[in-house]
Amino acid sequence: MFKLWKHLKPYTGMLLTAVILIALQAIASLYLPDLNADIINNGVQKGDNDYILQTGLLMMAVSVGSILCAIFSTYFAAKSAMSFGRDVRLHLFKKVQSFSKSDVDKFTPASLITRNTNDVQQTQMFTFMMLTMMVSAPITCIGGAIMAIRQDSKLAWVIAVLIPIMLIIVWLFASKALPLFKSMQSKIDGLNRLVREKLSGIRVIRAFVKERTESARFDAANKDLTNNNLKVARLMAIMMPMMTILININCVAIVWFSGYRIDSGDMPVGNMTAFLSYSMQIMFSVIMAVMMFIMLPRASVSAGRINEVLEAVPDIPDNAQGSRGFNRSEAKGLVEFKNVSFSYAGAEAPVLRNLSFAAKPGQTTAIIGSTGSGKSTLVNLIPRLYDVSTGELLIDGINIKELNQADLHSLIGFVPQKAFLFKGTVASNLRYGKEDATEAEMWEAIETSQSRDFIDDMPEGLNADIEQGGSNVSGGQRQRLSIARALIKKPPIYIFDDSFSALDFKTDAKLRAALAKNLSDVTIIIVAQRVSTVMNADNIVVLEDGVIADMGTHEYLINNCSIYKEIVNSQQREEDLA
């Protein structure tokens, strides 16, 4: 928790102001019972109306000051806490942005969402309560004890007996609640994961008529979280009445024993009312501290989970010193694999082994192979979504590990296997590739990606709405818009990771012809399952079990590579392609 509070540093001025105002409010609250006792002892009992009026006006002034301090202290404390939460969320988001795909997989997307929302909210709330309560509580408790002893020291034993009892009760309940708070956040993670999974896989769930099964899974996780929360609520439901009983016992004991002292003349009536007020303030300050200690375990767990992310060292560190020898305008786009191998974390065997080939500018390099041969993994290495385990991956002779990631990504137009669009419009999604893209540039990319037909059918055209993930357009339309988004960037290297799979053969052919015409001087790398998509490539790399079985043109491979020939024969007759 304390590590996170470094993010409060920019708000030191507001924090100090809030603390001073809270302290002044607490002091004013301690002064009021003393003034009230003074009115009773020296005004009411003596019938001095002028003294009552004069002291009453002073009480009113102190009360108004206390109210103003409470208003402004709450404002500054809330602003500091909310700003703290905003900054922590921003730092978390930026940190996750620096993660590689394996880093995200390690924490899981559902857990990262929970940490950036619920966990931040817990620490933010605790910070606010800490500012408002833990400053006033010690002042009220210690100051109230001193002021109570001033009123009548012989009644102090009542408070001295009850406060340790309250603390013992708090300790007993806190020891029971701490494990429950620790498990609560992980259970929220699990619930978020299920919700995210159900929403993402809704079509599959409906296709297999698994609504009841998935509802049962969700219901089980939901009940698990609910039962955990109910256990905490039951503890609180038992503890708070016990605190209330102790407060009432305190009031009865003070009135009872002070009655004897008043009757004997050892204690004025005003002192009794003041002593009773101070004892109540002390009790409530202890309850405030109790509330803080109740919140502390959960906030501490949340802070620990946030710090895990903030302190995580990315698997793929960025080159903080910048890219040496890099000039975006002079980049050619030559991609070279030199004895590259790659293994996933914890895997028994490498996914890719000793790959060596080059994808040259002005040429199309295709990657083909059976399912699980490592095609997508291979192209994911180029933008450093994963890092090579051994060997070198070079762009224009520079090892990509020596390039700043922003510089590296500026060289690549990447169209992933699963096309993803952001909520917005057609234009906003295209401008994701180039923020200042003109309408003419967008239409050029649309023409090349064969998207013109369906965009023309949209009444709003470029301003047509796109839902999150592109859920309101078809799979083929999503793929074409993703391709247009990459084209508008105009980088020297294009990577199409099975990006034509949702296209019909006619659209696929038109798109490849347009790419060959408009991207004649760049490096194009295509991963595909269809032979028809790759057969016109300048160089076809055939992968089998993570190694290069052979490479060359379609004509060469059809005559010399049995694996490629088998793939061709499985899709259509050999004579149709020869």
Q: Which residues pair with 335 in a beta bridge?
A: 359, 395
Q: Which domains does the chain have, with CATH numbers?
A: 4-310 (1.20.1560.10), 329-577 (3.40.50.300)
Longest dimension (CA), the chain: 120
Query: Which amino acid is located at 501 in the chain?
Result: S
Query: Given this model, what pLDDT does residue 575 score?
Result: 42
Q: Which residues pair with 465 in a beta bridge?
A: 425
Q: How far apart are CA 494 and CA 364, in angstroms?
A: 9
Query: Given this model, what pLDDT does residue 504 score?
Result: 80
Query: Given this model, what pLDDT does residue 393 score?
Result: 93
Structure tokens at 194: 């299920």
Query: Given this model, what pLDDT does residue 204 score?
Result: 82
Of 474, 439, 443, which is closest to residue 456 (Cα–Cα)? Answer: 443
Q: How far apart are CA 502 and CA 454, in angstroms?
A: 15
Burial class (CB in 10 A: 0-12, 13-18, 19+), 17: middle
Query: Given this model, what pLDDT does residue 1 score?
Result: 59
Query: Given this model, what pLDDT does residue 320 score?
Result: 59
Using alpha carbons only, what angle is made at residue 372 by residues 369 and 411, rounded to the nearest 5 degrees? 70
Query: Given this model, what pLDDT does residue 578 score?
Result: 42
Q: Which residues contact 416 (CB under 8 A, 6 or more apart)?
A: 482, 497, 499
Query: Given this model, what pLDDT does residue 322 score?
Result: 57
Question: Which of left, alpha, beta for 398 (phi over 0: left; psi -120 to 50: alpha)?
Answer: beta
| Contact indicator for 147, 224 with CB cutoff of 8 Å | no
How do 364-369 and 523-527 pair as beta strands? parallel
Of 562, 564, 503, 563, which is closest to residue 537 (Cα–Cα)? Answer: 564
C-alpha distances (whole Å) from 34 to each of 21, 113, 439, 519 are 21, 52, 75, 86
Q: 331-346 pLDDT, tens per residue?
A: 888 999 999 999 887 7
C-alpha distances (whole Å) from 285 to each of 33, 143, 246, 278 are 16, 11, 14, 10
Query: Given this model, what pLDDT does residue 324 score?
Result: 62
Query: Given this model, what pLDDT does residue 574 score?
Result: 44
Q: Which residues contact 43 (CB under 8 A, 6 or more apart)?
A: 49, 51, 52, 55
Q: Which residues contact 204 (CB under 8 A, 6 or more apart)?
A: 210
pTM of the model: 0.71
Q: Which residues contact 346 (CB under 8 A, 6 or more apart)?
A: none
Task: Find tokens 């990459």 and name the residue.
Answer: 486
| Contact indicator for 287, 167 with CB cutoff of 8 Å | no
Query: Given this model, what pLDDT does residue 325 score?
Result: 59
Of 522, 517, 556, which is closest to residue 540 (Cα–Cα)? Answer: 556
Give the pLDDT means over successive 10-residue stretches in the chain (578 positions). Answer: 74 88 90 86 74 87 92 91 91 87 80 86 87 84 87 83 82 77 77 80 80 88 89 82 84 86 82 87 81 76 86 77 64 90 83 92 90 87 89 89 85 86 88 87 90 87 85 85 90 88 81 85 88 88 90 90 86 52
C-alpha distances (whole Å) from 366 to each of 251, 376, 406, 414, 449 are 85, 12, 26, 15, 18
